[in-house]
Structure 1
């Protein structure tokens, strides 16, 4: 019954091993960030829990909320399956905690954490793929390297140029929370050639004053350009050609934080979000500061930006709140279907029609209607700078799977983590000082009692947020985690959360140390 409720009209994005039809469009793997277009929008992922579980009751017998299929222990085991934690020293970051929960199979989100080699300059990124994970994976593998090159001084660039094949290894030290997947030798060679050329081009640009904001923007745009350029035909290696084309035609949005001393920069493309959590000591409240804006049709400035670049197509570009009625984010990596010239898209389709065993998904590829003046999409990041102060405690980076969860806002997320940390701080054994007065002990015990009341089930704050995003109450979470694979994508997206905790002592003493 449930399978007949959702009838998706599909747009075109190829990827190997997933649901794709160039003439019918994208499969139903994504909603808010991806390209899902349903004929009945009321049946989408934003259903209330009541509607969701009402349908489950009708189709699957026992009430999944009142009679959970998973025990609390099983729920916790699932929620903690992908959690990661790393303690750090040196610089403004003392700890990073991450977690993910897939809705797509395989998950299309990626996260990566690292620092510039030999420094205390940290990089954190969350990437949300659509039409598969190919583009998000290449961002995880490559974006930090491009950022490092873009911010490198002349000495490092010369060292990188002379080192040649060791370029990538010299740029980034990945944190223990990051697991890097192996890349095929042929693909790695293509990536290295592009990165090495970027090093060479950066040497030619030395002498020009560049701000951090400009360097980050340059890195984002250059990688997106290379993704597009690499998707050419590679004679004699059909598999490599198809891999590179799939990376370019799939897409991803991304949100990256760069922390250098007390300077925090957030570079965002698409609809992932970054928010700083600050503690107001005078009122004992938590304050959220949003360091990103969603690049979608709900953002008036973003719509004006798009129309300004295509002034004669304002009635055609956005339909149903999506680019050509298909793509939700208005900035993204990859997605060359909205960037390439029409003749190049037709050439690829013709090339695919002449082959017998690869690029088959691109045969007779249907172009968006009224496709006249590409590119309609770019990966230019919106970069925001923030100066850390002692009141700032953490920053959350998360894909839209978290922010689109029922009732989740940036204020709520910050409050949840803030109260979680307050609960964790009182877990140690209380030993009053020998000279403590009775009133002081009583006050300390009262605060301890309040903190214990806030103690969470999960030590990892990313898991804590994830649990709340799913509804907190055990029956709701169990029902969410036992949704059929073909149905789950209609009710939630992949969720990726990274929480970076700031070192308060470092921030307080920064002026003395520097």
Structure 2
């Protein structure tokens, strides 16, 4: 039952308000009094409507019913998880939360623990979810395989700890040098094992994307070599058009996805953050001496509004394309991220795209989007990530004075569209400090020890460093520290991204897809945090000191 039916029949429909299209297939049953109360709770949103007589569009206000609190809470709870992992006296915790706007959702996420290594990834899909789901299933395994091929043992035994303490690596220098020599395309001088690991991660990203783009071409070549005519007229009779598996491969290449992967080497206490696109990772840094927080922004937002990315893309193409490779802050005027998996429309030449259209689609159902008129010298988009390395950064690392990293946030741009890095850090720090209730936005930093500063900053979508984001109008209003979010910090972030206040959150979650996409994006969040003081008592009861 859709919200459009509720609008037509607000009383009868609300007797069994279906969450299909909003939060799955569950049902929320209301009493008669609740039906009447809810029917009187409405709000308006601006929507664009086309006049069928004139063909012109104009903005009109559309009234929608507000879902009840229990339904909103159900939606927030539907895709959350909280997990813990004990290792060497440290309790590692990671909380995830997802709220969809697109239907079906285009975001995906994943996590894995392998020996001393932990992997966390969020994937922001676009033009569909085929690419993001492929990354969810395959990116971590591809990275693990590449690490192994580069001589990095993911199953290192504890008896090697003495070697690590002496050399700082856990591998002999010669093994890393040999791995470096054997690697395909080293792009920077060998200096430390961390650089070799970074190179392996970059190679894994690029190799997986190359595979996504190569499979549809190989399928076409296989069909052509089996005797099918290569003439355009007969290509429309290709068996690939009716093969669901083949279509899935081509959709994974044509759809696109950003990728953000954090790799935690808890043995060497190193952190690697690989970013392709405009998802973002930030770390919360606690200064015990000054009793204050700061933010380490671990990735740049790689878009057509990032000056560094614009310069990079322009440098890779002829001078006569300088004004078209990035138009209006978008690649060829269309795609906002300058790095992404898939998005073959910006990577394949016109000839290949025409062939894909003939062999996988049909004359009546052609390629969903034709090549850009500005397409001349592809590829314009790369999946190769920028990898940020932080050595001795994790619990147990070298003494860094009074400052210590206390948590890590990874999120798709649905969060960062409405929240700065400093705000997200303050919300997580406040949650871990035990704050509850509603707190004025401008008062929260003071409760945490003062203004939250930026240790090091990436580039935001506006092309400005995150240090400029604190003076925004959005600082007016209140954050919500709800008891309902005590078990999941990621959910706490999403609640506040949707407005914090109960009524605002309910309104945002009441807007059905696809209208909701004009007000919010899919949001996926992973928060990783740890407690170095966690101990297991002899009586089996867990005892943990104060979180902060």
CA distance in 1, matches of 2:196, 2:359: 43
Matched with 2:255 is: 250
Matched with 2:334 is: 326
Contact 1:296 1:330 in 2 (8 A): yes
Q: Deviations over 1:262-281 (max 9, x none)?
A: 10000000000000012222
CA distance in 2, matches of 1:411, 1:250: 32
CA distance in 2, matches of 1:59, 1:154: 58
Shift of 1:345: 1.6
More helix by share: 1
Matched with 2:201 is: 216
CA distance in 2, matches of 1:154, 1:266: 18
Q: Which moved more, 1:381-390 or 1:221-230?
A: 381-390
Shift of 1:246: 0.7
Give matches, 1:105-504, under 5 Å. Answer: 105-116=103-114, 119-152=115-148, 205=182, 211-232=196-217, 233=219, 235=223, 238-261=243-266, 262-312=269-319, 313-352=321-360, 360-362=365-367, 366-387=370-391, 388=393, 391-405=404-418, 408-423=419-434, 456-459=483-486, 460-504=488-532
Contact 2:107 2:122 in 1 (8 A): yes
CA distance in 2, matches of 1:106, 1:423: 35
Shift of 1:372: 1.1
Matched with 1:99 is: 97
Q: Deviations over 1:107-129 (max 9, x none)?
A: 0000000023xx12000000000
Q: 1:93 to 1:490 in 2, by over 3 A?
A: farther
CA distance in 1, matches of 2:314, 2:363: 41
Q: Which moved more, 1:325-334 or 1:234-243?
A: 234-243
Shift of 1:328: 0.5
Q: Which moved more, 1:326-335 or 1:83-92?
A: 83-92
Q: 1:344 to 1:280 in 2, by over 3 A?
A: same
Q: 1:457 to 1:219 in 2, by over 3 A?
A: same
Q: Verify: 1:71 aligned to 2:82, yes or no.
A: no
Shift of 1:352: 4.6
Q: Which runs of 5 or more residues in structure 1 are unaligned?
A: 4-51, 161-169, 171-201, 426-446, 448-452, 507-514
Contact 2:44 2:61 in 1 (8 A): no
Contact 1:252 1:334 in 2 (8 A): yes
Contact 1:456 1:464 in 2 (8 A): no
Q: Which runs of 5 or more residues in structure 2 are unaligned?
A: 5-42, 48-58, 156-178, 224-238, 396-403, 437-447, 449-479, 535-548
Q: 1:306 to 1:154 in 2, by over 3 A?
A: closer
Shift of 1:366: 2.5
Shift of 1:348: 2.0
After TM superposition, the score normalised by the length of structure 2 is: 0.63
Shift of 1:474: 1.4
Q: Deviations over 1:124-151 (max 9, x none)?
A: 0000000100000001111111100111
CA distance in 2, matches of 1:458, 1:121: 28
| Bigger-Rg structure (1/2) | 2
CA distance in 2, matches of 1:395, 1:505: 18
Q: 1:302 to 1:283 in 2, by over 3 A?
A: same
Q: 1:203 to 1:304 in 2, by over 3 A?
A: closer
Q: 1:108 to 1:93 in 2, by over 3 A?
A: farther
CA distance in 1, matches of 2:502, 2:293: 27
Shift of 1:398: 0.1
Shift of 1:156: 8.8
Aligned length in residues: 377
Contact 1:130 1:250 in 2 (8 A): yes
Q: 1:473 to 1:149 in 2, by over 3 A?
A: same
CA distance in 2, matches of 1:297, 1:356: 34
Shift of 1:77: 2.0
Q: Deviations over 1:352-408 (max 9, x none)?
A: 56x589xx3328x62211311111111010000113256211100000000002xx1
Shift of 1:486: 2.6
Contact 1:101 1:495 in 2 (8 A): yes
Bigger relative contact order, structure 1 or 2, given CA contacts below 8 A and separation 6+?
1
Q: 1:206 to 1:254 in 2, by over 3 A?
A: closer
Q: What is the alpha-carbon root mean square deviation over aligned residues?
A: 3.3
Shift of 1:286: 2.0
Q: 1:223 to 1:395 in 2, by over 3 A?
A: same
Q: Deviations over 1:274-308 (max 9, x none)?
A: 00012222333221110000111221111000000
Q: Secondary structure at the match of 2:425?
A: helix
Q: Secondary structure at the match of 2:323?
A: helix
Shift of 1:339: 0.7
Q: Deviations over 1:417-468 (max 9, x none)?
A: 101011079xxxxxxxxxxxxxxxxxxxxx9xxxxx9674312101100110
After TM superposition, the score normalised by the length of structure 1 is: 0.67
Shift of 1:153: 5.3
CA distance in 2, matches of 1:396, 1:223: 25
